[in-house]
Amino acid sequence: MVKPTDILKEEPILEVRNLQTSFFTEKFEVKAVDGVNFAVPKGKTLGIVGESGSGKSITSLSILRLIQNPGKIIGGEILFKGENLLDKSEAQMRRVRGNEISMIFQEPMTSLNPVYTVGQQISESYRIHQNIGKKEAMLRSIDMLKLVGIPSPEQRVKQYPHELSGGMRQRVMIAMALACDPELLIADEPTTALDVTIQAQILELMKELQQRLGMSIVMITHDLGVVAETCDYVAVMYMGKVVEYAKVADLFKNPKHPYTVGLLNSLPRHDIDLGDEELTVIKGSVPSPDNMPKGCRFAPRCPFASEICVEQLPDLEQSEDGNQIRCWIYTDEWDGDPEVKVNG
């Protein structure tokens, strides 16, 4: 099996190897993340994309070891600057979280504490991780609000989350995440529930801050438009596994896995008149966690599936042009139509 670092030109700051995170019920085990591999280069952005339930958010929470019962990380390595985070104590992880690795969560209204002002919540990072006084921490919080483009920051630090708009709350979340100059930022659906113009502003802000601060970013999203706009590399996930991993330009120019092609084809196109035709969809539905396919997870929905796809799970292999694909079509063992080649 190939390694995710095989397609990188840069040194990785984070490398995830064979990560396995499961949730346990009385009846069965749900393998939410099942042998995931990817790497994040220094100063670059990796997008993790896939439909709801693919394991994107659980992957991001696993990196920071924030999985709660009945979930558990049961295997793999999470190498941050060469050190395995799974070997660290909880006290050591508290020093990493918010200081070296920060996270922007999906819903700013539920992630911010409603009974504390935004200034108090940003200040907390400084006081915990940098051991500075209350007054100095508040001054730095004002500076952070300026950095993320919030007007009148001296007044805003005194306000509560419900007094701010959705876009403002998301900027506060970014300010909190960047307070201690992290080397890696994990952004879990950072533009969810925001209108289109605010989404564009938030994404542009993150790009500007990345260039200014030199940090790496993991962008969790279901929106391929966000990936095209902000990312350097992309990992496509389906049912807990990475099915394609590539440079963003290569993936959009020549997608290979049938699932990736399906996602791209299902995007609305403004440059093509479909007439009475309906939008392209990926047929079928995501399998139930308690009834996983024996072979390729995508086989029940794949138009090209053959016998080997149904019976055996393929490894992640590297194609001649650099993409890493988990698909039998691109191996010598493929037993289907020899003329089939999937592309966009």
344 pLDDT more than 50 = no
pLDDT by residue (tens digit) across 32-83?
A: 999 999 999 999 999 999 988 899 999 999 999 999 999 999 999 999 999 9
Position 335 scores a pLDDT of: 82
Is residue 18 within 8 Å of residue 75, measured between CB atoms? yes
176 compared with 198, residue with greater pLDDT: 176
- Across the chain, the runs of DSSP E, i.e. the strands, are 12-24, 29-41, 45-49, 71-80, 83-84, 101-104, 184-188, 216-221, 233-238, 241-247, 317-318, 324-325
Band of pLDDT at residue 22, cut at 50, 70 and 90: very high
pLDDT by residue (tens digit) across 177-219?
A: 888 889 999 999 887 767 788 788 888 888 888 998 899 999 9
Which of these, 288, 281, 290, 312, lies nearest to 299 by C-alpha position? 312
Mean pLDDT calculated for residue range 326-337: 87
Position 274 scores a pLDDT of: 56
pLDDT by residue (tens digit) across 99-152?
A: 999 998 877 667 889 999 999 999 998 988 888 899 999 999 999 999 888 999
343 pLDDT more than 70 = no
232 pLDDT more than 80 = yes
For the chain, percent of residues with pLDDT exceeding 90: 56
Position 110 scores a pLDDT of: 76
